[in-house]
Amino acid sequence: MGTDFAAPVGTPIRSTAAGTVVKSGYTRGNGNYVTIRHNATYSTQYLHMKKEGFA
């Protein structure tokens, strides 16, 4: 379960905390997504992105 935040196309997405990208890709249900591991307990996912990419 999570929270969706609507934003105009092209709005930069900032991670909630520093971490390591552990997975990214595309699924029909989630669209483009990225999963970031922040520590041994927490990770976040960013879904429904127009395009995959991160820095």
Query: Which residue range is the domain that position 29 belongs to?
Result: 20-49
Please report whether residue 31 resides in a domain.
Answer: yes
pTM of the predicted protein model? 0.82
pLDDT tens, residue order, the chain (55 aa): 788 888 898 888 999 999 999 999 999 999 999 999 999 999 999 998 887 666 6
Angle at 8 between CA 2 and CA 13, to 5 degrees: 55
Please report whether residue 12 resides in a domain.
Answer: no
DSSP codes joined into one string, the chain: --------TT-----SS--EEEEEEEETTTEEEEEEE-SSS-EEEEEEESS----
Looking at residue 24, its pLDDT comes to 93
Looking at residue 9, its pLDDT comes to 86
The domain total for the chain is 1
